[in-house]
Structure 1
Amino acid sequence: MSYLILSILIGGIALGFALLLYFDIIKKNVGSEKMKEISKNIEDGAMTFLFREYKFILIFVLVVAIIIAIAIHYKTAVAFVLGAFFSIMAGFCGMRVAVKANVRTTEAARKGIKEALTIAFSGGSVMGMAVVGFGIIGLAALMIIFNLDTEYITGFGLGASSIALFARVGGGIYTKAADVGADLVGKVEVGIPEDDPRNPAVIADNVGDNVGDVAGMGADLFESYVGSIISAITLGAFVNVSSGNETSIFPMIVAAFGILSSIIGVVIIRTIKGNNPQKILNTGTYIAGILMIVSTAIFSTVIFGSLKFFVPVLAGIIIGILIGKITEVYTSAEHKSVKEIARESQSGPGTNIISGLAVGMKSTVIPIILISIGILISYYVCGGNSDSSQGLYGIALSAVGMLATTGITVAVDAYGPVADNAGGIAEMASLPKEVREVTDKLDSVGNTTAAIGKGFAIGSAALTALALLASYAQVVQLKSIDLLDPLTLTGILVGAMIPYLFGALTMQAVGRAANKMVEEVRRQFKENKQILEGKSKPDYKRCIDISTEASLKEMIVPGILAVVIPVFIGMFFGKEALAGMITGALVSGVLNAIMMSNAGGAWDNAKKAIEGGIYGGSGSESHKAAVVGDTVGDPFKDTSGPSMNILIKLMTIVSVVFATLISSHGGILVDLFFK
């Protein structure tokens, strides 16, 4: 119990550190009255969306909690509600600070890139500390309350996953509808710059950066973080290496010291000198990783008397960093892939899209090989050849290792939307060109760091979902998955189809919402000619309302399907079919997530590279082709792609939560017609 109390204290330190960062941010100068007005519009739009989204989510949480209490156990329902609440709190705190940090970053950009980076990164760090602080406090508290009984803790993960899916899908639809609408009419049809105040969708676009890439991303990483720990905790209950509960508590220790390592990394980034934001962010991240490795090695030796369970954690950290670097290679404007997409844009939108898709598909190869290596190392080093439970526990630990420094990973990720907003405010407030150059440089690095953050989340999703699948198999007493069993094979095929269906639903949702936005922007330009002349102010509020209404409406079906399908398959076709479904969804979901996220990031940076002056620069035919490619890439990287990793973990953890019910009452149709 002492280690769990320590975990709660360290979680409290993370939240306290976030509070200190918040007070430091709000003390900074907010700039001119015009900047204040723009920032206030963005903040009001973001908070309006969030409160309307939470009203729907509250109904969903209450309904599901009642079902869980009746069908499973009231303790699982309590854990579910707590997981949902803490996920909401993490996202809310992060976004609340982001909309304060954006305008202050703009003002700091007058002084230089380091000053602007510090404020933007501090805004992202609040999100990171909120994610890990709420996550570890919630899990440790439940373990104490339930007296280390891991049966009910899975409800916490289900609550986190449910909120993450709705927040990611809803926020993603919002931001991409506004972004696509603003780009297609503003840049391509009318030829005005990005973030031009004459564009009616410009405020909605900046609001979207917050609701999608801060609140949505925060809920996403919160779910990844707690999901990895829960999978290790539940599998640890089946591992017998001593007379105590060390294997269930060890993941909490790893996570706790990951938080301390992340805090040190954040402090280093804030204090280190220099004008290369990518180098500064990488330095802090690598130092946090090294500290994490050293502390885990020490505690593995102290608790288990060997480094056996340290190795998978080390493997997870290294593979996470390597996946991040590979992601950078495929999405950064400094590397060949993005340059190739930019070059192909000279031939038009078709070749741009072909090149981007090819980059996304190629980018799956090395990450999948790395994840496979991590699985093999973690399984066999922990004794999988002689004890499969220890081997599976090792795989779960590798996911914990990959996400142990989530505090700084989220901080680096969430700084990007703050920098993006800062650039928008600079443009709308007509600040000097030098200010926009600083924010653009920060934003370009932010695109790469966001892609790296998605790479971490996707890699950990594969490992976490595999570990949760093992937990499900333990509960329903499945020794193996028989690929020759027609029920299992059918489940695999259906599972592999689900990410494609989910991707289609979310892409179409963005398309429908973006179409409404395009029509509205065109209408305003047509009916009020003075908008483009700069003599009349656009109706920003109408565009905000369109994105809000569309995103809340369109997120319902994908979100509910992800919860309902596993229960339906398990109850009607049995535990074997459900195991197959999880397996199929895991494989196709991970591949789609990597392909979509990386292709989208590459398209975005190819567009920015052309805007930097190559191949004709802004307004050229190459630029128009790149904007079209980025229009496809936006929902790829910010809606459908990131949602895939949540989808596979949500379906898996739903299966774990309902495993006992499915084991005893599942397979209704099979019993009626096939036996």
Structure 2
Amino acid sequence: MGSASGSPVRPRILTVLAAPAQPAVLTGGNQILVLVIGLIALAALGVAVLLVRQVLAADQGTPAMRRIAAAVQEGANAYLARQFRTLAVFAAGAFFLLMLLPADNWAQRIGRSLFFLIGAGFSAATGYLGMWLAVRANVRVAAVARGVTADQQQNAQHRAMRIAFRTGGVVGMCTVGLGLFGAALVVLVYRADAPRVLEGFGFGAALLAMFMRVGGGIFTKAADVGADLVGKVEQGIPEDDPRNAATIADNVGDNVGDCAGMAADLFESYAVTLVAALVLGRSVFGDTGLVLPLVVPGIGVLTAVLGIVAVSPRRSDRSGMTAINRGFFLSAAVSLLLVLAAVYTMLPSSFGRLHHVPDAISRHSGDPRLFALAAVLIGIVLAVLIQQLTGYFTETGRRPVREVGRSSLTGPATVVLSGISLGLESAVYSAVLIGAAVYGAYLLAGGSIVLALFAVALAGTGLLTTVGVIVAMDTFGPVSDNAQGIAEMSGEVEGVGARVLTELDAVGNTTKAITKGIAIATAVLAATALFGSFTDATNDALRGAQDVANDSAGSLSLDISHPNNLVGLLLGAAVVFLFSGLAINAVSRSAGSVVFEVRRQFREHPGIMDGSETPEYGKVVDICTRDALRELATPGLLAVLAPIAVGFALGVGPLGAYLAGAIGAGTLMAVFLANSGGAWDNAKKLVEDGAHGGKGSEAHAATVIGDTVGDPFKDTAGPAINPLLKVMNLVSLLIAPAVVRFGYGPHASAPLRGAVAAVAALLVVGAVYVSKRRPVNVADEPPAALSGPQVGLTNC
């Protein structure tokens, strides 16, 4: 129903973006530039091949070390193969659903669905490549420490660190290479339609990454918690002792969770940030907006190579983190200088000289070169500050971790309390930094919301210039952890060599925590930019909807004073808590099954303790595989279906508020979980290095309890929130035209909206109910072994 004058009522809050620009068409020069960026992306993959050869050229150690490494490789391959078969069903369903969603033309629909599969495939490939090399590099890192004397300690540590970091460098180059190549290919092929097609590419990457992060996180932490509770606490045997039946599963989990899962997570962060920047860039900078967001991460590809090579330890370095920080800061500084040259080459001196931009943008005062440079600078500085802040709260030599370690003198309860308080406090500082970055982008725009959102997206691309080094830092952690495990299980590394690997593992714990912090910052920037893309898509749909009723204004507005928007805000925050609870509870149930299985083996096979019998490693791998694949479905359905239920039931305004609530709660929750877990882990390392009584003391037992609490925090629920936020934003972006079409105007259909919302809500409730009903397996005999290759798992 129209207004009194006969014109349709326009919602006041949602129309924050400028009128649409003319369709962006790439000029000849920009086409060449995008083509060059695509070639740079392929060159990154070539650099990855060279680094692979360097890593594989190193010595693999003794036959005993190779047998253990082969068992880990086999278990990781078997798990990922089963996981990919399971996820193929979800991917096929999403492919056809995307074909049904509204689009301007069939070319967009087909391209969106096709590049959904390509994005999912690239995400899976990045995760698989990270796992494939990591399980081959860990034994090579362990071999470096074999037979090391005191005089050779520093040289051995440097060589081990170089192998581990360049393994991560391979994953980093694959991440930036595949992400940039996919985005450049879409822009070259689809041009003006590229933003809509890129939505499918980003959604595919995010959906696969979330499933891999949740599934891998459940696997790795179930094995780790079960191994620690029975091995360290009950039996008093060291970590990675070959007598513990969960050790192989624990080492497998490090690779499927921290390598495959985190690599896929960072790839989708890369892809989704590019998607948001390109969608907004076209609306703001016209044809240049389809190129600039590719140029900035293209520069990051070049500086990533520099940063990875620069991580070459020196005798003057205080610790391994000194060398890693050198590579990270060098990469960031050179990136900024090259971005400076790029923006002054590509952009004019005033907004009015940009082609195919809205009138509101062309009239904007200021220099677009300074605008773009400052936005990218915000992202780079944010990465540096998050790196330093997370390092402060999780490094073994810093006060927070030392205080957590000291609290072990009074028992496990105080360890848990100190870790929780540390995580809560650190979340505030991280949120302030991220909020300052977003507000800084807003100030750059001079009051223009559309420019502010594009500045946030450019800040995200600025942060992406460091992603190659960040991914290398992340993979470095599990490679170092596995190397120590292989060394201990084989019994081939003792004394000085064992100390080399212990120090390397402590550095790896810090790098993993740092990369989680930066991944969270990237997720928030991407989600904020995607929120702008959601608003843009909604406005486009509203322009096509006629006769928007006056009483619909409440469900179209983002004004938080509307009660339905407040409900949406609360639901968005609640979903983050429910998602985290489901992930942690899944680890708890699966870890319980592992505990009972390991206890059973110790009870029924007493020869395991004296070394006369070999544990049945394969049965624990089976338990973890079964539980991980079974449990990942519920969080995945929650992420995809909850926005659908909210949007179709309440409208686009409450759906926007839902996203805002999820971003706010998700930021704080993710940092809290990641930093608490990282601090508990390194507090345990601190005690194991001799502090407060060392290994076997009551303080050690207390920190082991803290570490087992923190394991699902930092490696399952916390990191999985990153893809959760982007999946929910992308789902909302994709369904926004349908919500508007069937909610407002002549095509409005309350029964259809209600049916869609009811089905989505019932599926979520049913999945949660089934998940909560699953018991912990406490039977004397474990569940039947899953089918798949098991050779080597029981005889390593």
Deviation for aligned residue 1:71: 2.4
Look up the match of 2:328: 285
- Quick check: 1:374 aligned with 2:437? yes
Which residue among 186, 195, 200 is the counterpart of 2:245?
Answer: 200
2:529 aligns with one of 467, 470, 474: 467
| 2:90 partner letter | F
Distance of aligned partners of 1:517 and 1:75 in 2 relative to their CA distance in 1, 3 Å threshold: same
The alpha carbon displacement at 1:301 in A equals: 1.1
Contact 1:4/1:249 (<8 A) preserved: yes
Instruction: Say whether residues 1:253 and 2:295 are aligned partners.
Output: yes
- Equivalent runs, 1:518-533 vs 2, <5 Å: 518-533=595-610
TM-score, structure 1 normalization: 0.97
8 Å CA contact 2:569–2:662 kept in 1: the answer is: yes
Larger gyration radius, structure 1 or structure 2: 2
Structure 1 window deviating more from structure 2 (644-653 vs 169-178): it is 644-653
Gaps of 5+ in 2: 1-30, 103-108, 149-155, 349-368, 543-555, 755-796
CA deviation after TM superposition for structure 1 residue 348, in Å: 1.0
Spell out, residue by residue over 1:606-644, the C-alpha distance to the aligned partner (whole angstroms, 9 max, x if none): 111111111111111111111111111000000000011
Matched, 1:427 2:488: yes
Asked if 1:407 corresponds to 2:468, the answer is yes
| Residue 661 (str. 1) matches residue 703 (str. 2) | no
Pick aligned residue for 1:545 from 619, 622, 626: 622
Change (3 A) 1:401 1:672: closer
Cα distance, 1:74 vs structure 2: 2.0
How far the C-alpha of 1:155 sits from its partner, in A, is: 0.7
Preserved CA contact (<8 Å) 2:573 2:665: yes
Secondary structure of 2:69's aligned partner: helix
Find the partner of 1:165 among 186, 192, 210: 210
Count of matched residue pairs: 668
Match of 1:443 in 2: 505
Question: Residue 67 of structure 2 corresponds to which residue in structure 1?
Answer: 37
The residue that corresponds to 2:642 in the other structure is 565
What is the rounded CA distance, in whole Å, between the counterparts of 1:632 and 1:487 in structure 2? 37
Q: Identify which range, 144-153 or 250-259, moves more after superposition.
A: 144-153
Task: Give runs of aligned pairs for residues 61-210 of structure 1, distance below 5 A.
Answer: 61-72=91-102, 73-110=109-146, 112-149=156-193, 150-210=195-255
Q: Aligned-pair distance for 1:274? A: 5.7
Note if contact 1:233-1:248 (Cα within 8 Å) is conserved in structure 2.
yes
Contact 1:426 1:435 (C-alpha < 8 Å) held by counterparts:
no
Distance in 2 of aligned mates of 1:621 and 1:332: 22
Structure 2 equivalent of residue 476 of structure 1: 538
CA distance in 1, matches of 2:469, 2:253: 23
Q: Which of 42, 47, 59 matches 1:17?
A: 47
**CA–CA separation in structure 2 for the residues paired with 1:167 and 1:457:** 15
CA drift at 1:272: 5.7
Distance 1:426 1:393, change over 3 A: same
Residue identity in the other structure for 2:390? T
In 1, Cα distance between the equivalents of 2:324 and 2:316? 11
Counterpart code for 2:337: V
Distance of 2:315 and 2:254 partners within structure 1? 28
Give the counterpart of 1:626 among 693, 703, 706: 703
Counterpart code for 2:297 = A
For the 8 Å contact 1:172–1:216, the answer to whether it is kept is: yes
| Contact 2:141–2:163 under 8 Å retained in 1 | yes
My pick for the range that moved more, 587-596 or 644-653, is 644-653
Counterpart of 1:326 in structure 2: which amino acid?
Answer: L
SS of structure 1 residue aligned to 2:607: coil
- CA 1:346–1:521: 2 relative to 1, 3 Å: same
- Distance in 2 between the 1:648 and 1:292 partners? 28
CA RMSD of aligned residues (A): 1.5
Letter in 1 for 2:565: T
Alignment of 1:321 with 2:384, yes or no, is yes
Q: Is 465-474 or 104-113 further displaced after alignment?
A: 104-113
Mapped partners of 1:293, 1:129: distance in 2: 19
Displacement of 1:273: 5.9
Task: Name the CA distance, whole Å, in 2 between partners of 1:480 and 1:460.
Answer: 27
Aligned residue runs from structure 1 range 292-307, under 5 A: 292-305=335-348, 306-307=369-370
CA contact (8 A) 1:582 1:652 kept: yes
Greater Cα shift, 88-97 or 142-151: 142-151
Preserved contact between residue 572 and residue 669 of structure 1 (Cα < 8 Å): no
Separation of aligned partners in 2, 1:345 and 1:351: 7
Selected match of 2:257 from 200, 212, 229: 212
| SS of corresponding position for 2:196 | coil
The 10-residue stretch of structure 1 (469-478 or 348-357) with the greater mean CA deviation from structure 2: 469-478
> Compared with structure 1, are the counterparts of its residues 671 and 33 closer, same or farther at alpha carbon in structure 2 (3 Å cutoff)?
closer
> 1:271-314, CA deviations, whole angstroms, 9 ceiling, x for partnerless residues?
76666311111101110001110011111111123221110110
Conservation of the 8 A alpha-carbon contact between 2:649 and 2:753: no
Residue 50 (structure 1) aligns with: 80
Q: Is contact 2:558-2:654 (8 Å) kept?
A: no
Match of 1:267 in 2: 309
- The CA distance in 1 between the partners of 2:53 and 2:534, in whole Å, is 44
Contact 1:413–1:453 under 8 Å retained in 2: yes
Paired residue type of 1:77:
S
Q: How does 1:632-647 map to 2 (within 5 A)?
A: 632-647=709-724
How many angstroms apart in 2 are the aligned matches of 1:499 and 1:308?
Answer: 34
Shift of 1:495: 0.4
Unaligned runs of 5+ in 1: none
- One-letter code of the match for 2:211? F
Moved more, 504-513 or 656-665: 656-665
Aligned in 2, Cα 1:665/1:92: closer, same or farther, shift over 3 Å?
same
SS in 1 for 2:610: coil
Residue type of the alignment partner of 2:377: L
The 2-side partners of 1:669 and 1:214 are apart by 46
Alignment-mate amino acid for residue 286 of structure 1: F
Distance in 2 between the 1:204 and 1:671 partners?
47
Give, as a single letter, the amino acid of the residue that structure 1 aligns with 2:656.
Answer: A
- Rounded Cα–Cα distance in structure 2 between residues aligned with 1:670 and 1:623: 61
- CA-CA distance at 1:666 after TM superposition: 4.0
1:442-475 alpha-carbon deviations (Å, 9 max, x no partner): 1100111111101111011111111101110111
1:666–1:77: structure 2 CA closer, same or farther, 3 Å change rule? farther
| 8 Å contact from structure 1 (residues 384, 392) kept in 2 | no
Matches of 2:34 and 2:743, distance apart in 1: 36
Q: 2:454 aligns with which of 380, 393, 396?
A: 393
Whether contact under 8 Å (2:428, 2:668) holds in the other structure is no
Q: 1:529 to 1:666 in 2, by over 3 A?
A: farther
SS at match of 2:284: coil
The aligned residue for residue 59 of structure 1 is: 89
Matched, 1:227 2:253: no
Deviation for aligned residue 1:572: 2.2
- Paired residues of 1:69 and 1:75 also in contact (CA < 8 A): no
Distance 1:449 1:669, change over 3 A: farther
SS at match of 1:307: helix
Whole-angstrom CA distance in 1 between matches of 2:370 and 2:138: 44
Give the distance between the partners of 2:314 and 2:699, measured in 1 at CA. Answer: 39
Distance in 1 separating the partners of 2:676 and 2:391: 12
| 1:357 corresponds to 2:357 | no
| CA–CA distance in structure 2, aligned partners of residues 40 and 556 of structure 1 | 30
In the other structure, the counterpart of 1:342 is 405
Indicate if the aligned counterparts of 1:341 and 1:352 stay in contact, CA closer than 8 A. yes
